[in-house]
C-alpha cells in the first residue's frame, strides 16, 4: 500500500510514510515524526486513530471507510483540520 502525501502537507515540506512497525503511518515535518496514523477497526470497516508523537494526544478521524487506504485518507483530512491548514 502506498499513499502519497497530500498537497497541503507536501507544500509545507511534510512527508507521509509507513512507520517501522508496518501498521502505522507517520506524518513528518522537518524530517521529524510529529503524528502517527493507525488504521483501526470501526463497525466492520476501517477507521483511523491520529496520535501526536510527542505527548500521545489522540484525535479521531472524521469518518470510516471500507478500505485501509480510505481510512488513512480520512485520517489525513482530519489532521489537516486539527492543524487548521
pLDDT of residue 40: 94
Does some domain include residue 1? no
Does some domain include residue 2? no
Residue 44: exposed, middle, or buried by beta-carbon count in 10 A (0-12, 13-18, 19+)? exposed
| Parent domain of 35 | 7-83
Give CA separation, 71 vs 53, 65, 67, 84, in Å: 19, 5, 6, 20
The count of structural domains within the chain is 1
pLDDT of residue 75: 94
Model pLDDT for residues 28-70, shown as the tens digit of each residue: 999 999 999 999 999 899 999 999 999 999 987 778 899 999 9
Helices first, then strands: H and E counts in the chain: 2, 5
Amino acid at each position: 500500500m502506498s499513499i502519497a502525501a497530500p498537497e497541503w502537507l507536501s507544500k509545507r515540506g511534510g512527508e507521509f510514510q509507513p512507520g517501522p512497525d508496518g501498521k502505522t503511518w507517520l506524518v513528518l515535518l522537518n524530517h521529524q515524526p510529529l503524528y502517527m496514523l493507525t488504521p483501526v477497526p470501526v463497525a466492520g470497516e476501517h477507521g483511523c486513530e491520529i496520535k501526536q508523537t510527542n505527548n500521545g494526544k489522540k484525535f479521531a478521524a472524521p469518518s470510516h471507510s471500507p478500505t485501509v487506504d480510505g481510512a488513512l485518507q480520512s485520517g489525513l483530512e482530519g489532521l489537516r483540520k486539527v492543524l487548521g491548514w
